[in-house]
Amino acid sequence: MSAACIFLRVVIVAVFACSLKDVAALTKPSSVQLKDNGYSGVVVAIHPDVEENGTVIEIIKNMFTEASSVLFNATRSRSYFKNVTILVPDTWADNDTYDSPKNASFEGADVIIATRNPRFAPDPYQQAAPYTKHYEGCGRQAAHIHFTPEFLLDPEPTYGSLGRLLVHEWGHYRWGLFDEYPDVIGDPDFYQEYYFDPETNLFEATR
């Protein structure tokens, strides 16, 4: 299989209801499966607090399409995104193109699109960066990947393309990789475990 042969199917499903407590769940089911090198069952859920915007859906689709090729090349043809389901909240208008959500749910989503979490982005004047909430040890799947709609609509260039950024976060999520840099805000108890270079006055990435 070549990179040009990668086929990604994105399904936009019918409306659903959820509550804020679903976002903070410590453990959750996941329908993601890796079969014949393709990740299927990936669920992206948009929170009801997110204002309706069809552009967000198109950006998500394009992000996964790019990420599929990036992942395929990065893993030396071992994996790619085969299909993705986007859950639309019941606060958005009905659309004839939406399919049935079947067993997909917000609490089981692998990627959530929601407003900023004050714990991880306390400064309302600073753009909230994407992150992966990880509660368990290395090698264990994380809780979810979090993007804000503001970041999707106006991504920070220093993070690179959205597709590459998604693959980066997918490593944290699916394979349980820890952050390369300290998170003084989200993980203040362990940032001192990272190496600090006294010459550059910077924390060095985990190697």
Q: Would you state the structure tokens that stand for residue 45, as one six-digit string?
A: 């859920």
Query: Which residues are designated catalytic?
Result: 169
Cβ atoms 172, 166 nearer than 8 A: no
Bridge partners, residue 197, by sequence: 202
CA distances for 30 relative to 12, 98, 135, angstroms: 18, 22, 15
Say if residues 99 and 14 touch (Cβ distance below 8 Å).
yes
Contact in structure between 29 and 100 (CB atoms under 8 Å): no
CA distances from 193 to 38, 100, 151, 201 (A): 36, 46, 29, 15
CB contact at 8 A, 135 and 69: no
